[in-house]
Amino acid sequence: MHMLLIRQLGLYLTDLLFPPHCAGCQSPGYVLCSTCLSQLQPQRLPRCNHCHSQLTPQGLCKPCHYRPLAISGLRTVGFHRGPLRTCIHALKYQGNKRLAEPLGQLLAQAYKDYGLRADWIVPVPLHRGRQQERRYNQATLLARVCADQLGLPLREDLVIRRRATAVQMNLGVQDRWQNVKDAFAYSAKVSVRGCNILLIDDVCTTGATIEACALPLLEAKARSVWGLVLARPL
């Protein structure tokens, strides 16, 4: 709670010096206005109970049919379109770190709405070279807010990214899986045996990255490893 108050004070002072504009509609005075925020709420479309992809009209999940995830399950806030897509892009590529607060709160609310249970919250790590280039990991910013909102411990040291990988968005489906294969490792700093772990990231497209991050934890005998992300493609 102490760190949450410090962060909120820092955001308040930043807003005084640099008045924000809504990331969704550019209205002055808001990081994210109430109108755009209302459009980020979870959309009640038929979803796969395992990977949370949209189901076909026949009730089928194509991703699970072709390549089911070994992760315990995945949940999302919404689809990667409209204001949510704009906000994620602004946080990830435009340095608008203030968006981590409302977006992290959405993740925390989704955690409650979906009835998830976790002992630790873990952000999907960036390779140190990519993090030095970007100067922050958007997944870590989101996970910090989510953990604070839920009163759960955040662990940034359970999983390491042991090699650099190509940018996933530039790759095809099969290449995405090969690109992140064995890219992550369990740090073994603390035992995860019997623990329920929640991985946090911004976007999940094929599930390759979050799966590669989860596998070392499952191999280390974690009881469950779930993923919670802001968006999946429609």
pLDDT in tens, 191-230: 999 999 999 999 999 999 999 999 999 999 999 999 999 9
Which pLDDT score is estimated for 28?
Answer: 76
Encode pLDDT of 66-88 as tens digits: 899 999 999 999 988 888 999 99
d(CA 114, CA 49) in angstroms, rounded, equals 11
| Diameter over CA atoms, the chain | 53
The candidate with the shortest Cα–Cα distance to 217, out of 158, 147, 144, is 158
Which pLDDT score is estimated for 19?
Answer: 54
Which pLDDT score is estimated for 153?
Answer: 97
Decide: pTM greater than 0.85.
yes
d(CA 138, CA 152) in angstroms, rounded, equals 19
d(CA 162, CA 45) in angstroms, rounded, equals 37
d(CA 7, CA 85) in angstroms, rounded, equals 24
Structure tokens at 70: 């070994």
Residue 192, classed as helix, strand or coil, is coil
d(CA 51, CA 185) in angstroms, rounded, equals 22
Strand partners, 54: 47
């390549």: which residue's tokens? Answer: 67
Which pLDDT score is estimated for 17?
Answer: 46
Intervals of the chain under pLDDT 50: 16-17
Domains in the chain, please, with CATH? Answer: 44-232 (3.40.50.2020)
